[in-house]
Amino acid sequence: MILESFLAFFHLVAIFTMVVFMASEAAMCRTEWMNAAVVHRLVRLDLIYGIFALSVLLAGLARTFWGVKGVAWYWSQPLLYLKLGLFIVIVLMSLRSTASFLRWRRNLVATGALPPPDEVLATRRWIMIETHLIGLVLLAAALLARGVLTL
């Protein structure tokens, strides 16, 4: 039971940390706050977000393989596939903002120009969609944990 507790702990810490950095990106990605320091900070925040997104995935996989319910139970549940599918969609969506941040930094270093306001708004909107999709992942997680829709 102690292993299950630690697996859950690491999974939750990774999720909360990922969400904090995702929300930080959304908060900083504003036209009125954009300056050179913010562009560099967004790249750094995005790297940390990516590290913790990977940590969420690894901790979740560890729970399925070494958790109390066992691999057979987890991998037979439709809600697990919903969670994984949504998570993959969020990660794939985040590649767009990652590319934007890297392009903005590269352009800033080369020319000193900040990103155009319309790009900043579009990127922020994309991050907000990702952030809201996390809520659906958490709903699926809560339902799965309580045995709703389980086979």
With respect to residue 18, please indicate whether it lies within any of the assigned structural domains.
yes
Q: How many residues does the chain have?
A: 151
Q: Please tell me the number of Cα atoms within 13 Å of 126 on its side-chain side.
A: 20
Full domain range(s) for residue 65: 2-145
What does the DSSP assignment read for 61-92?
A: HHHHHHSSS-HHHHTT-HHHHHHHHHHHHHHH
Q: What is the pLDDT of residues 2-18, one digit of tens each?
A: 999 999 999 999 999 99
Q: What is the pLDDT of residues 36-49, one digit of tens each?
A: 999 999 999 999 99
With respect to residue 66, please indicate whether it lies within any of the assigned structural domains.
yes
Tell me if 86 sits within 8 A of 137, measured CB to CB. Answer: yes
Tokens matching residue 150: 């389980």
Give the pLDDT of residue 79: 96
pLDDT for 151 beyond 90:
no
With respect to residue 98, please indicate whether it lies within any of the assigned structural domains.
yes
Cα 146 to Cα 125: distance, rounded to the nearest angstrom: 33
With respect to residue 151, please indicate whether it lies within any of the assigned structural domains.
no
With respect to residue 150, please indicate whether it lies within any of the assigned structural domains.
no
Give the closest residue to 120 by CA, choosing from 142, 139, 137, 104.
104
Give the pLDDT of residue 66: 95
What is the pTM for the complete model shown?
0.93
Q: What is the pLDDT of residues 83-138, one digit of tens each?
A: 999 999 999 999 999 999 999 999 999 999 999 999 999 999 999 999 999 999 99
Q: What is the pLDDT of residues 24-81, one digit of tens each?
A: 999 999 999 999 999 999 999 999 999 999 999 999 999 999 999 999 999 999 999 9
**Number of domains composing the chain:** 1
DSSP state of 141: H
* Other CB atoms within 10 A of residue 127 CB: 26
